[in-house]
Amino acid sequence: MPGAADILDGLSTIANQATGVAMAWHLLIAAALVALASGWRPSRRTARLLIGTPLASVAAVAIVFANPFNGMVFAASVSAMTALAMRGDRRLVLAGSAFTGGIGLAMIAFGWVYPHFMKGPPIAYLYAAPVGLVPCPTLAVVIGFALLGDGLGSRPWGLALAAVGLFYGLFGVFRLAVFLDIGLVCGAVALIAAEFGWFEERRIGTRRGAARALMAGRRYPIRSEAGGRANLSAVARFEAAKDFLRRLCL
């Protein structure tokens, strides 16, 4: 494997010679955020497939710039995640909790302005940071969108994405001494937590949390106010039924 200096030089070359690709990805990310804010909700399978396209871009760019390691890792990751994406939940995307949504937006912003590798004025990071070109900012954005969609309904897919993010984040911190990749590590850990429902379990007793869990098809053991155990799916169905009847009467 090349030394850390050689790896960083190669990534810097990609970031500075393929800025047009990065700018195109910034426009696509902005369009996706505007569409989501306007109420667009694709199916979870469609979202998982779309989210994989920036990773495919990294694989293609790595091959063009003679970086076989990143090319092979990302090509294999995209292939595996595409197969997993096709097998998962096809219902419409549901927004995660405010907490996971906040982390997701923070990860997207982190990847959007990823302040490394580029040469030029700092303002260039706002529109040409190497998203879709090099691994870490791209994974940060992809993980951010996955968190916005509460993991997108496929635990194997989400865990595969988190594993790739965790690997590159730790590699960046410990092998390349790019300490800002700690942000990617945190995002990958947050996605793992979301996939196992650790954030959702903290929403015990809220109508919104119960209804979301019902729509996501999840079953979490929770503790009732009296201290006993209860099944969230039953709570969710009861609360969802109450909401439905209330809306009929209004």
- What digits encode the pLDDT tens for the residues 78-113? 999 999 988 866 788 887 778 888 999 999 999 999
Pull the structure tokens for residue 79.
């292939």
- What digits encode the pLDDT tens for the residues 183-235? 999 999 999 998 887 766 454 444 444 445 444 454 444 444 344 444 445 55
Nearest to 243 by CA among 216, 218, 220, 209: 209
Which pLDDT belongs to residue 137? 96
pLDDT at residue 151 greater than cutoff 90: no
Pull the structure tokens for residue 138.
């791209």
CB 237 within 8 A of CB 214: yes
What amino acid occupies position 176?
L
Q: How many CB atoms are located within 10 Å of the residue 180 CB?
A: 15
pTM above 0.95, yes or no: no
Nearest to 200 by CA among 187, 191, 213, 190: 213
Q: How many CB atoms are located within 10 Å of the residue 68 CB?
A: 9
Average pLDDT over residues 126-145: 96
Q: Interior CA angle at 39 toward 20 and 140, to 5°? A: 40
CB 84 within 8 A of CB 156: yes
